């Protein structure tokens, strides 16, 4: 699902550095994992993400990258509002499923992260990275911010969501999941899923590798250092509202009173 491909970049382009931790996370998301407790959970999750991306589109026929898109079950709904939608995914098995699922959607392109340097500069109107940065080191995120910056058009937006603040851990995650499950009709499956997660490879990976957390001011400073003007969005894209989402534009563009994404 979420991060970086090992494929060597062509044409002398340096591939994204992949440490052992990222490799382990990529392998996990590309496997038959149980992070979604049943099909209903996966469906409503990806439906909500698709709706959130559509709401963030800065203009009709926008060019969009969904970075670390996962299964992207409802990407066709996003594509209906886009000029082009790039589903950027690290896991090779996931990419093959995405290509098969959306083979008939003419404006969806499935790519690997190492394909990004081949895209033209200032290509994109919106780049979304949901539930990605917690699996990266700060140096790796800084590298990615530079790559995304090259791809954004002058009025483009970068949205980084599901950022975990200090002090927010698995207890908060489980409470948020139970509330989401109750609201969407899969509470019993969620309870069983919690028991599975306690002994799962996800729990082992998270305990062993950890996740990267950012205070709000810290993340905004990181965006500024990478050449963005950013602010926190009112809501996270996912169901867990203890986590944060940020919008960023190039230079001084963020915060424009006429910009619907520039709301704090």
CA 127, CA 71: separation in Å to the nearest integer?
17
Task: Mention every residue, 6+ apart, whose C-beta is less than 8 A from residue 171.
Answer: none
- Domain assignment present for residue 14? The answer is no
Counts of helices then strands in the chain (DSSP H, E): 9, 7
- Domain assignment present for residue 258? The answer is no
Q: Are 177 and 190 in contact (CB under 8 A)?
A: yes
CA 261, CA 214: separation in Å to the nearest integer?
21
- Domain assignment present for residue 263? The answer is no
Task: Mention every residue, 6+ apart, whose C-beta is less than 8 A from residue 16.
Answer: 4, 5, 113, 114, 140, 143, 144, 147
Q: Are 89 and 110 in contact (CB under 8 A)?
A: yes
The total number of structural domains in the chain stands at: 1
- Domain assignment present for residue 89? The answer is yes
Per-residue pLDDT band at 170 (split at 50, 70, 90): confident
The DSSP code for 124 is E
pTM: 0.85
pLDDT tens figures, 80-113: 999 999 999 999 999 999 999 999 999 999 999 9
- Domain assignment present for residue 255? The answer is no
Tell me, what CATH number does 234's domain have? 3.40.50.150
What range defines the domain where residue 68 resides? 20-250
Q: Name the residue with higher pLDDT: 198 or 62.
A: 62
| pLDDT at res. 24 | 72
pLDDT tens figures, 19-43: 555 567 677 667 776 688 999 999 9
- Domain assignment present for residue 122? The answer is yes
- Domain assignment present for residue 24? The answer is yes
pLDDT tens figures, 68-80: 999 999 999 999 9
User: Which residue spans within the chain are E strands per DSSP?
Assistant: 62-67, 82-88, 108-111, 124-130, 152-163, 228-232, 244-250
- Domain assignment present for residue 42? The answer is yes
| pLDDT at res. 169 | 81
What average pLDDT does this structure show over 59-64? 95
Phi, psi of 95 (to 5 degrees): -60, -40
């Amino acid at each position: 699902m979420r991060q970086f491909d090992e494929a060597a970049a062509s044409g002398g382009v340096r591939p994204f550095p992949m440490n052992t931790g990222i490799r382990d996370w990529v392998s996990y998301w590309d496997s038959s994992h149980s992070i979604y407790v049943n099909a209903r959970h996966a469906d409503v999750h990806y439906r909500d993400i698709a709706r959130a991306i559509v709401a963030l589109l800065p203009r009709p026929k926008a060019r969009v990258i969904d970075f670390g898109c996962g299964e992207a079950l409802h990407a066709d709904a996003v594509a209906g509002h886009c000029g082009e939608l790039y589903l950027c995914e690290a896991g090779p098995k996931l990419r093959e499923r995405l290509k098969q699922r959306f083979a008939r959607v003419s404006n969806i392109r499935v790519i690997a992260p190492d394909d990004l340097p081949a895209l033209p500069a200032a290509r994109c109107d919106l780049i979304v990275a949901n539930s990605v940065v917690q699996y990266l080191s700060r140096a790796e995120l800084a590298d990615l911010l530079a790559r995304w910056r090259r791809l954004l058009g002058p009025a483009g937006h970068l949205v980084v969501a599901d950022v975990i603040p200090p002090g927010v851990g698995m207890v908060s995650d489980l409470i948020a999941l139970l509330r989401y499950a109750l609201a969407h009709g899969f509470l019993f499956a969620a309870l069983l899923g919690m028991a599975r997660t306690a002994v799962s490879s996800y729990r082992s990976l998270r305990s062993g590798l950890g996740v990267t957390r950012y205070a709000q001011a810290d993340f905004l400073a990181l965006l500024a250092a990478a050449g963005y003007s950013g602010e926190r969005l009112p809501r996270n894209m996912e169901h867990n509202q203890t986590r944060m989402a940020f919008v960023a534009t190039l230079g001084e563009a963020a915060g424009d009173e006429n910009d619907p994404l520039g709301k704090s």
